[in-house]
A = this chain, B = another copy of it.
Amino acid sequence: MNAADLAALETPLLLLDEARMQRNIARMQQRMDALGVRFRPHAKTSKCAAVVQRQIAAGAQGITVSTLKEAEQFFAAGIDDILYAVAIVPSKFDHALRLVRAGCRLTLLVESVAAAEQLAAHGRANGHRHRVLIEVDTDGHRSGIPPEDARLLAVAAALVDDGAELAGVLTHAGSSYSLNTPEALEAMAEQERAGCVRAAQRLRAAGHACPVVSVGSTPTALHARRLEGVTEVRAGVYVFFDLVMAGIGVCGVDEIALSVLATVIGHRPEAGWVITDAGWMAMSRDRGTARQAQDHGYGLVADVQGRAIAELSFGEANQEHGVLQWRGAAGAELERLFPLGSQLRIYPNHACATGAQHPAYQVLAADGTLACWPRFSGW
């Protein structure tokens, strides 16, 4: 690390450890290769073409997005196999079609007969067969159709049409985020796999080809022991990891590639406080570790080299002020230990949320050089 270069930068800023990120990319891709499935990373975490290009270079096939803005931006960056993994609604059909007309191989998602019928009608009216997956619910945490539900076949029937083509099924076991043992994560990965494969089997028994069986979340992808019947896996946050993932047990803090670089702007020795310029605007309001065994407040404070400072907790945040509480001895020494203008690194609870607060990554390469990679936001 070139601390001299960092010290000259105005903070707060989003710091990306490139070597850690590359290790995270390699770890997941090797696992997917060993399990014999395609890997389609979720680009909502980085919203950055340079990051996604490295995932593709490592072996990823296509990407997953959570907004059409992401599809648009990544398609403009040269990625043409894109899965929009949020149930689409009519006000977004034309936007999706524009991307297809421009040459994007865009796959859409529905979970209701109403959406399937309206999407098929839109395709017919525009002379295009939308490529569509059906969202399957395998853990009751959000949306989708349970594998045994009668609606599954009704939605599929609405997609056999000149305006829509049923490409397969998709599920996301988001409830894996509330687990924290290898055994529970392994069981959830199997539940996710088995439920999605079961939905595909029912569709095939009804005469649908159902070529795609897409599953995934970072915790289940890293704990699946077998993926028979699955054709592709999706995961997002693994590329950076974060404190929530560390709390779940899928990474160590020393694998977290993302941090916020902050500067000490003040002290309240009598209260044991160190004030920095990284408030909730820089960290986000995400308090994802609050429900875990180890609550990290607004983030885990580390020195500029990335080594955690156990005695300094980040309990309060205003918009542009972070209030760090010193829990060690000799509070009167705070101004000497953390002088005005000195820098700290703060590991985030949730990489997707913290990243979204920033317009760019400052990328620190293994050789100590710095680069700036822009990221986008909005819809």
Contacts and interface: CB of A to CB of B under 8 A. Distances in A.
A13 interface: yes
A236 to B, nearest CB: 9
Interface string A262-275: 01111110010001
Nearest to A376: B359
A359 B378 CA distance: 6
Contacts of A356: 281, 357
B340 A277 contact: no
B266 A112 contact: yes
A366 interface: no
Interface residues of A, number: 63
Interface stretch (A49-57, A73-81, A90-98, A303-311): A90-98
A292 interface: no
Contacts of A1: none
A268 B144 CA distance: 8
Interface stretch (A219-227, A244-252, A283-291): A283-291
A114 B285 CA distance: 31
B95 A10 contact: yes
Nearest to A85: B320
Contact of A377 (B66, B323, B359): B359
A66 to B, nearest CB: 4
A360 B379 CA distance: 10
Kindly list the 9 A-B residue pairs having the minimum CB-CB distance in the complex, ordered from nearest: A285-B285, A359-B378, A66-B320, A285-B286, A87-B265, A143-B266, A114-B340, A89-B341, A90-B341
A293 interface: no
12 contacts: A10-B95, A44-B319, A66-B281, A66-B320, A86-B320, A89-B263, A112-B340, A115-B340, A280-B286, A280-B353, A357-B377, A358-B378
